[in-house]
Structure 1
Amino acid sequence: MTGPRTPSDRVDVCIVGSGPAGAVTAAALAERGHEVIVLEAGPRFDFADRQHRMERHLRPAHGWTDVWDMGGPRDAYTSSGPVDYPLNTTRVKGVGGTTLHWLGLTPRFHEKDFEMESRYGLATDWPIAYDDLRPYYAEAETQMGVAGAEDNPFAPPREESFPMERFPPSYSDSLFAEACEELDIAVHSVPQARNSEPYDGRSACQGWGTCAPVCPSGAKYDATVHVRKAEQAGTRVIDRAPVQRLEHDSEGERVEAAVYATPDGTEHRQEARQFVVACGGIETPRLLLLSQSETYPDGLANSSGAVGRYLMEHAFAGTNGLLLERTEQHETGFITSESHQFYDHEDSTPGSVKLEFFNYAGPSPLDIALGDGRWGTDLLEAVDFEFGNRLQIGALVEQLPDPTNRVTLDTDETDDHGNPVPDVSWGVGNHAIAAMEHAQEIQRRILTTMGARVTGQTDVHDPGPARHPMGTTRMGTDPAESVVDTRLRTHDLENLSIASSSVFPTGGAMNPTLTIVTLALKAVEHIDADL
């Protein structure tokens, strides 16, 4: 329930953003006895409305961004790069953040993802190794509730079993697996933050099939789980309180306050001993750039010039096929089988590929009717031919950090508070293109072996992003080349930490949310020690 939006007296920790990083950080620090306040730009959504939001998603009159009320002056942005970046499909502004619409896959990064320069002479190494994060990965899986199995021969080492049993493979998975066995391609289960059994007070998956963009049952983890835990431990969460800027002391060594606006247009200053920015890969650098001052004319914590630079994404490579027999596959809503066989590569190129076998049945009858204008008998014949025998294989691929891929401020367009909007400039790069071509060659071989006809492939020069922005406030040991250190604390300000995919020096080809939460749990220990 929303309370007053006036600031608290000086608190221990002020967190900007209530997505997975912000919510987990808030809960962990509050449970350690610290006074915490969270400032969230978007509203608090009523859980009871989720079924209505699911229905909105299913109806043709509404688009993806309508489900969680994205768009308009509040969410204005520009995209000036060589590939259009659909920012408002990557994020949700509201309590719970982008986990409200995420798919829920939670693989760990592989060891090679932390060692790109030392292994391949590419990009840069992380200043921490996989082994440094192993205990935090295990804790993140427990905190979120991850269902999985130790059947992936390519997964990085682990000591603990998954908190829940895996989801079983679908029927179409068995068809893919048969062809992959013939091609000596290993297929295995997918770890995901989705309850395969009742867990942490939430039900098992109910099978609605609309996981992205909305889970009506709450069986899929989202950050409101930790928002509730944070509030139970005494955290105060203020929604519809977008932070306009961070203000620092006269020496430029500490942040003193987060200035936020309320729906009536009033600005307030929230003071704290420690600050954590957890706004995701785009809004985090934007807030730092908006917080420029005489001491930091290029943006707060930006003495390196790296704030906003090195934007990475996971370009999606897909291949569709038509099988001349019924798969009888239903829209499960999530992926139950993958292959990481092409992830840990020996040569520098092509880069990592994570194959994903989609539980895809084909276009819905409504999509067929709206697309072709067919009704009655014609529609029934079309549905009989086009639904239930479609196949889709996808892949996430590795993109290298490039300083020209970046987030800047577009001073020609402003949001509802008069601030310059973020401009996203994103291109794919030859390394990712080579990985996508490699992925599609594998996908084509699998479908051909199944006896399917390939009906289409992603344009590797103009792919869609997987909605995983990373790298824009990168971690490193050299303050001249990075924004935060191994503690996730900014080099420039001693009480400002960043918990976000924006700190990733490289992005691999694994879904990032588990690693985001893992790093947040690591940062909590350092912030707690400082307090």
Structure 2
Amino acid sequence: MGPSYSTRGETDALIIGAGPSGTTAARLLAESGYRVTVLEQGTWPDVYPSTLPERELVQAGPWNPNPNIRKLPSDYPINEDEADIHTLQFSGVGGSTVMFGAEWPRLIPSDFRVRTLDGVAADWPITYEDLQPYYEMIDEMIGVSGVGGNTAYPPGEDPPQPPLPIGRIGQVAARGMNALGYHWWPGTHAILSRAHDGRSACARWGTCVAGCPEGAKSSWDVAMWPATLAAGVELITGARVREVTVSPRGLATGATWIDRDGTEHHTAAPVVIVCANGVGTPRLLLMSASSRFPDGLANSSGYVGRNLMMHPTATVLGCYEEDLQAYLGPVGQPIWSMQFAETDVTRGFRRGAKWTIAPVPGPAELLQRIAGLPLSQRSGIAGHEFVERFTGRAFEWVAAIEDLPEFDNRVTLDDTLVDGDGLPAPKLRYKLSDESIRALDWHIAKLTEVHEISGAVFTHRVDYMPEVGWHLLGTARCGDDRETSVVDGYGKSHDVPNLYIFDGSVFATSSAVNPTSTIAAFALRGAEHIVETAAEQRTPL
């Protein structure tokens, strides 16, 4: 017997995904008078492993950011056989912000005009100035800390909260940057430095990616969902969406989804917003193929799933003789630099990278950083001596490379692999370009130099990190030309006028910086546009 079928009650907007984009849009729409339903395939995060003595081991297994390792019931498998970088994502309320390091930079103005300036990639249909007020609103809504006056930061109001300490690792890293004449700045974080709205200030646990025990990190489950629920949003967890449904006229009518008991439901809505991340969104659109949309929903351009960007990342570990208290947070970006973020063709590649430092808090994490060394140098007596000597005395310089879009880097549906409900799993094809490889090598050499001039007694380079695919971007890009894009500058589908996409899929370029602030700002702007143009909205009703 097949699953039973039910139709749920009316709503004005149906949102798929309870991460930063979906939650932000849901809150604004609800506070504007809309009845909003959010479908989330995961659940609320349970007890964070950050307070557990075995934290490092839990993070390697059931709390691993790679769903292929974590394998929770809410996860879907991903075929990564042809991917140089593996995806990291979290299925649950708050999305991957539950596991992010809360680094909070904005795209820089040139990121929106890469085609015009450098002759590659694509221009966005919007500018930094279009997003600036929404960046500032998001900063206020979730609580962002930092120092104003950074000449490498785009224009706008200073962060609403004072900065977090840069710590001893920041001081050591800064002295190397100063010696080389490179610009650096204390990090901007989606982390409270002062208690606010029932949440505590950062206590520097250094476990940001394992969940903040203070609630200081502005993951969307704690920073945005309480207000979103208070606005009247209906949140349905354990809801795996199988298909966005359409009318005979080609308008979205809602979504069919499966609950954890295997029961199939349909929620009808005049507006549908997909916020399932840069892998989940193209997967859903491709699964929603029909006689009217044989190549996938909203895919007349053929760009759904194309141009996957993932920020190739290289690190250089530096170990020091002095006690750096490297077990103290924040984990992400105590200091950072945009010294090399813009194009300089003399380097042998286009665009640039964001540099940042990161502590290496625990012994298991320290050993993981040198996994590329021969076993004899990292196990047994040698391994114990290394851990005893350098735990608390090591940190990384990290270069996140701007990933230029490649048409053949893509998300498709796998022919055989399925999730727990029998739905086709996504398959990734992602190959590092020669340009990215040159960029990684160039930045690693520079980062090693910074460590050495700062006094490191041991350095170890990781040419690129295949397990750091946090940023899933570009697979339903925004643009003015419907032949080469999927949505417009407000996230509205060119093909389906009442279908919107607000997550990282819409990025036309990746920038060199973390994308979440831009994802949230884009969603806020797009949701506001839905409200302001409601009288013009085409619906199937």
Displacement, 1:442?
A: 1.3
94-103 vs 333-342, greater mean Cα deviation: 333-342
Residue pairs, 1:58-457, within 5 angstroms: 58-60=55-57, 63-66=60-63, 70-71=70-71, 74-83=75-84, 85-87=85-87, 90-158=88-156, 160-224=157-221, 225-252=223-250, 254-332=251-329, 333-347=331-345, 349-360=349-360, 363=363, 372-374=379-381, 379=384, 382-457=386-461
SS of aligned partner of 2:218: coil
Conserved? CA contact 2:187–2:335, under 8 Å:
yes
2-structure distance, mates of 1:440, 1:470: 24
Question: Which deviates the most, 320-329 or 473-482?
Answer: 320-329
Alpha-carbon offset, residue 330 of structure 1: 2.9
Structure 1 residue 227 displacement after superposition: 2.2
Distance between the aligned counterparts of 1:361 and 1:61, measured in 2?
15
Q: Does 182-191 or 321-330 show the bigger shift? A: 321-330
- Summarize the Cα distance change of 1:407–1:286 in structure 2 as closer, same or farther, 3 Å threshold: same
What SS does structure 1 have at the residue aligned with 2:254?
Answer: strand
Q: Distance in 2 between matches of 1:324 and 1:198?
A: 35
- Structure 2 residue aligned with 1:519, among 519, 522, 536? 522
| Cross-structure match for 1:17 | 17
Cα distance in 1 between the residues matched to 2:496 and 2:339: 42
- C-alpha change, 1:464 and 1:432, in structure 2 (3 Å) is farther
How far does residue 54 in structure 1 lie from its aligned partner after superposition? 4.4
For residue 372 of structure 1, what is the amino acid of its counterpart?
S
Q: How far 1:58 moved relative to its partner?
A: 1.4
- CA 1:271–1:341 in structure 2 vs 1: closer, same or farther (change >3 Å)? same
How many corresponding residue pairs?
A: 514
Distance apart, 1:452 and its partner CA: 2.2
Whether contact under 8 Å (2:83, 2:431) holds in the other structure is: yes
Measure, in 2, the Cα distance between the counterparts of 1:20 and 1:518: 10
**Structure 1 regions of 5+ residues with no counterpart?**
none
- Write the distance in 1 (CA, Å) between the matches of 2:264 and 2:32: 30
> What do residues 108-133 of structure 1 show as CA deviations (whole Å, max 9, x unaligned)?
10011001011011111111111111
CA distance in 2, matches of 1:365, 1:306: 39
Output the CA distance in 2 between the equivalents of 1:307 and 1:295.
16
Amino acid of the residue matched to residue 82 of structure 2?
G
Q: Hey, what's the Cα distance between the residues in 2 that align with 1:364 and 1:415? A: 31
Q: Aligned with 2:166: secondary structure?
A: coil
Q: Work out the CA distance in 1 between the residues paired with 2:386 and 2:278.
A: 42
CA displacement, residues 189-239 of structure 1 (integer Å, 9 cap, x when unaligned): 111110000123211012221101311221101112322222211111000
**TM-score, length-scaled by structure 2:** 0.90
Give the aligned partner of residue 501 of structure 2.
498
1:19-75 deviations in Å (ceiling 9; x for gaps): 0111111111101111000000011234xx22x564286153662553688415742
Shift of 1:530: 3.6
User: Distance between the aligned counterparts of 2:311 and 2:472, measured in 1?
Assistant: 8
- Per-residue deviation at 1:156? 1.3
Q: Distance in 1 between matches of 2:62 and 2:487?
A: 32
Measured in 2, the distance between the counterparts of 1:94 and 1:215 equals 16
Mean Cα deviation higher: 350-359 or 195-204: 350-359
Cα displacement string for residues 481-520 of structure 1 (whole angstroms, at most 9, x for unaligned residues)? 1100112100000100001010000001100000000000
CA distance in structure 1 between the aligned counterparts of 2:417 and 2:364, rounded to whole angstroms: 39
Partner of 1:473: 476
**Any idea what SS the aligned residue of 2:425 has?**
strand
Aligned-partner SS, 1:243: strand
Distance change in 2, residues 1:176/1:279 (3 Å): same
- The separation in 1 between residues aligned to 2:463 and 2:64, in whole angstroms, is 27
Report the secondary structure of 1:273's partner residue.
coil
Cα distance in 2 for residues equivalent to 1:399 and 1:15: 28
Q: Which residue of the partner structure matches residue 537 of structure 2?
A: none
Shift in CA distance, 349/54, structure 1 to aligned 2, threshold 3 Å: same
Query: Could you tell me which residue of structure 2 aligns to residue 26 of structure 1?
Result: 26
Partner of 1:115, secondary structure, is: helix
Residue 466 of structure 1 deviates from its aligned partner by: 4.3
Distance 2:364 2:81 in 1: 34
Contact 1:170/1:359 (<8 A) preserved = no
Q: Percent identity?
A: 33
Extract unaligned runs of 5+ from structure 2.
369-374, 535-541
Q: Distance in 1 between matches of 2:136 and 2:59?
A: 39
CA distance in 1, matches of 2:115, 2:504: 19
The 2-side partners of 1:54 and 1:362 are apart by: 13
Name the TM-score, length of structure 1 as normaliser.
0.91
